Amino acid sequence: MKSFNKIAIIGVGLIGGSIGLAVKKRRLAKQVVGVFRRPSSLKKALKARAIDRGTLDTAEGVSGADLVIIATPVGLVPAMAKKAMPHMAKGAILTDVGSVKGFVEREVVGSVSQGIKFVGSHPMAGSEKSGVEFAEADLFKGALTILTRTRRTDLAALRRIESFWKALGSRVKILSPEEHDARVALVSHLPHMVAQSLCLILDETSEPYAASGFKDTTRIAASDPAMWTDIAATNAPAIEKALDLLIRDLCWLKLLLSEGDVRSIGARINQAKRIRERLEGGAKGRRA
């Protein structure tokens, strides 16, 4: 991959910090600059060696960068994009790492400044941990990154961003924002919401009986609330559709239980096991 001159990362947490570490380790840019809201975050990112230098001034941070990456919670992406674009160089590429893409495309693309090329990215990596102190240079290795393409997407910029994520060790798939949001609602957003529900309905007297089956199933309920509130708010229609599918299936199971239809219940359990085992041969991605 042709290296970048200057990469600016707006928001240097787990994902932004891991991008910084990965870029520096692989020498994919001459300079990695972090853009921060709080001096304390800047200090932590420097300490983690995730950036070469940091600034609280967005204009200064993004000026002259040939790649700007917004790695804030998804709800802040449009506002940060609008703040950054007027100060970006002509021909520079802008991307984000948000878990919801329709919202970002709608809000950002409408206001893209002339000469700025926007490509949405969603690296399906991370964990229930958050913060630059958990950043890792190899976080994206073997993970899947989804890029979004619309009829307004600049194809050269799309290829450049594809090479960038591949250089970070990621596999890449390209989807429309709508298809991205539907798939991810099913494989990521829904499981998070369900894990939260399982915790919420647990009465205190039952808590001592929660062993590792429960703990594994609900581990992702400990994920960053700000990030997940954002995701719920920005991908609500797709999550509602996924919830509908699940609720319908659970109601069906309830009926089978009340009818004592052991044969159908057994068939469900067998089928689920086959699907789950097939996944082990599939995506090697980490947390998403």
Taking the least distance from each CB to a copy of itself, the nearer of 55 and 264 is 264
By CB under 8 A, residue 268 contacts a copy of itself: yes
Of 53-61, 113-121, 156-164, 195-203, which part binds a copy of itself (CB under 8 A)?
195-203
CB of 179 to a copy of itself, least distance (A): 9
By CB under 8 A, residue 168 contacts a copy of itself: no
By CB under 8 A, residue 197 contacts a copy of itself: yes
Touching a copy of itself, residues 93-132 (CB under 8 A): 124-125
Touching a copy of itself, residues 12-51 (CB under 8 A): none
CB of 133 to a copy of itself, least distance (A): 17
Of 24-32, 41-49, 87-95, 272-280, which part binds a copy of itself (CB under 8 A)?
272-280
By CB under 8 A, residue 166 contacts a copy of itself: no
Touching a copy of itself, residues 136-155 (CB under 8 A): 143-144, 146
Taking the least distance from each CB to a copy of itself, the nearer of 56 and 232 is 232
In angstroms, the CA 26 to CA 11 distance is 21
Taking the least distance from each CB to a copy of itself, the nearer of 109 and 236 is 236
CB of 37 to a copy of itself, least distance (A): 20
Touching a copy of itself, residues 210-239 (CB under 8 A): 210-223, 225-226, 228-229, 232-233, 236, 239
Contact 239, 232 (CB under 8 A): yes
By CB under 8 A, residue 134 contacts a copy of itself: no
Taking the least distance from each CB to a copy of itself, the nearer of 49 and 173 is 173
Taking the least distance from each CB to a copy of itself, the nearer of 12 and 175 is 175
In angstroms, the CA 35 to CA 55 distance is 5
In angstroms, the CA 104 to CA 221 distance is 24
